[in-house]
A and B are shown apart, each in its own frame.
Chain A
Amino acid sequence: MQEENFGPLDVRKLKEIIQEESARLGLRSYSSEGESAFTLSLALTAAVKKIFFEKSATTFSAEPIIERNLVTQFVQKMRVDAMEKFNSTTVFSALQFALNEQGLERQEYLVTLVVYLEQKFLPEFLRLLKYSYIDSDDEAEVKDGCGTLVNLIAGQYKREMANLGYKDLMMSHFDSFINTAPDGIGIPKGTTEKYEISFEVEGTKRLVVEMLTTAILPAVQDNKKWK
């Protein structure tokens, strides 16, 4: 029987026990899918907060809510009904990241971002980001304005991903829609889940950003895979 010991433990001995147990139980074979996707959703949250704070010292009224939800798919695209997010006319813009230009052309996406907000609040969001006034009744201006917003978020997100050690990815042009995307939105192949991040202004959800990512994102160095 082991004596009670209140001194420091021998780390080398700990390591040995851990290695033995890991081998005995075959623990290396277990994977934990989605760990890095969650971290990337935090990076995206940080990116959104940062651009609003840097442009106009705006902070959201509560910590953003991050949820993991299933994707509704058809023909390898994501079906979107933006009215599920808000109770009024909703504008949304999507863009994709791929390894390079060929990857974008072949629709070999690694990350898809979608930004949703109520059409009537878009001018205010753009004002906060120091963009000129847009007419919220003009569909073309609205779509372009929302695309500007997703571009800004995606640009900052790229910087956050670089901070985490991921390779610089190529970003697509945005596509904007009102209420629904008739042909769906291109997503990384095999993706079944998405991270949905909701931002509140004065206690009410006003902005939703979704992120879909594949489990295989290239790092700056091969040996730095998940950092």
Chain B
Amino acid sequence: MKILVVDDSLLDRKLLIRGLMKSGVSQEILQAEDGEQAMGILAENYMDICLVLLDWQMPKVSGIELMAGMVKIPELATIPIIMVTASGSDENKLAARQVNPNLAGYLVKPYKSEELISAVKPFLR
């Protein structure tokens, strides 16, 4: 199974991927730099993706928009999504849960590597 990391910042993606790999996550990691690119990856690979780590603010299609679409598409609706965002505001947390009541997690940047691992661990297979 694969993990999809969606973030427009290369530095943020590198940090996330390094954190996952250092903690022994052996799943293949796919990357997208915005929601639109993520759509293409999801369309081709959705059967193999066990988790999406999703940034909020991105050009073209934002993370929250991508998630809103995913929950309406039966093939994608069951893929767990963890938002990974610098915004820890209650308003945004609430909005994310309203868009996706099954949201698998909400990590606020900067996160500790232990927080990242405990968030992703239940979804690795």
- Which residues of A pack against B, CB within 8 Å? 2, 5-6, 8-11, 14-15, 17-18, 21-22, 25, 27-28, 30-39, 41-43, 46, 63, 65-68, 164, 195, 226-227
Does the CB pair A42–B89 fall under 8 Å? no
Instruction: Indicate if B15 sits at the interface (CB-CB under 8 A).
Output: yes
User: Would you give 20 A-B contacts (Cβ < 8 Å), ordered by A?
Assistant: A9-B43, A9-B75, A11-B39, A11-B43, A14-B39, A14-B69, A17-B73, A18-B66, A18-B69, A21-B72, A30-B56, A30-B95, A31-B57, A32-B62, A33-B87, A33-B89, A35-B55, A35-B87, A68-B110, A164-B9
B residues near A11, Cβ cutoff 8 Å: 39-40, 43
Residue with the highest number of chain B CB atoms closer than 10 Å, among A18, A34, A41: A18
In the assembled complex, the Cα of A205 lies from the Cα of B45 at a distance in Å of 43
Across the two chains, which residue of chain B brings its CB closest to A2? Answer: B74
Residue of B nearest to A1 (CB): B74
Kindly list the 10 A-B residue pairs having the minimum CB-CB distance in the complex, ordered from nearest. A18-B69, A34-B86, A32-B56, A32-B57, A66-B110, A21-B68, A42-B11, A9-B43, A38-B86, A32-B87
- The reply to whether the CB of B109 lies closer than 8 angstroms to some CB of chain A is yes
Are A27 and B72 touching (Cβ within 8 A)?
no
Is B99 part of the contact surface with A, judged by Cβ < 8 Å? Answer: yes
Q: Across the interface, name the chain B residue whose C-beta is closest to A17.
A: B69
Residue of A nearest to B44 (CB): A8
Which chain A positions have C-beta within 8 A of B44?
Answer: 8
Min CB distance, A122 to chain B, in Å?
27
* B113: A residues at CB distance < 8 A: 63
Cβ of B33 to closest chain A Cβ, rounded Å: 10
B residues neighboring A (CB under 8 Å): 8-9, 11-12, 15, 35-36, 39-40, 42-44, 46-47, 55-57, 59, 61-66, 68-69, 72-76, 85-87, 89, 91-92, 95, 98-99, 109-110, 112-113
